[in-house]
């Protein structure tokens, strides 16, 4: 069984990674909740015997399926700009925000 020390520092790290602001009293409340609910759920997985089962990232065996590149007729510049409002196009091009 995997043992992870759940404490306020771990909760702070998780909150920081998730970009969540927590008050000190919220941190204190979360420690036992995470220890009880989440870790028990994940530790239950370690009880399963996975001997002889190779790791997999796909539920079924797959491989890349390549297709031949084909040249197809696209739309013209005028057709592309047809439904663009005037302040978003300039001299026949799409106009976007300034990038630094």
Average pLDDT score over residue span 82-97 = 83
Per-domain residue ranges of the chain: 8-45
Q: What is the pLDDT of residue 29?
A: 92
Q: What is the pLDDT of residue 99?
A: 87
Evaluate if residue 58 carries a pLDDT over 80. no
**pTM for the predicted model, two decimal places:** 0.41
Tokens of 3: 């043992």
Q: What is the pLDDT of residue 46?
A: 82
What are the DSSP calls for the chain, one per residue? Answer: -------HHHHHHHHHHTT----HHHHHHHHHHIIIIIIHHHHHHTTS--TTPPP-SSSS----------------HHHHHTTS-GGGEETTEE------
Tell me the β-bridge partners of 22: none
pLDDT digits 0-9 by tens, 1-57 = 556 688 999 999 999 999 999 999 999 999 999 888 877 888 888 888 888 888 877
């Amino acid at each position: 069984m995997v043992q992870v020390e759940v404490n306020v520092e771990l909760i702070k790290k998780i909150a920081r990674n998730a970009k969540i602001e927590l008050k000190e009293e919220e941190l204190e409340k979360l420690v036992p909740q995470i220890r009880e609910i989440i870790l028990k759920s994940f530790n239950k997985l370690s009880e399963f015997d996975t001997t002889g089962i190779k790791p997999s990232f796909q539920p079924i065996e797959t491989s890349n399926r390549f297709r031949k590149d084909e040249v197809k007729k696209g739309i013209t510049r005028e057709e592309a700009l047809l439904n663009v409002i005037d302040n978003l196009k300039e001299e026949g091009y799409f106009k976007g925000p300034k990038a630094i």
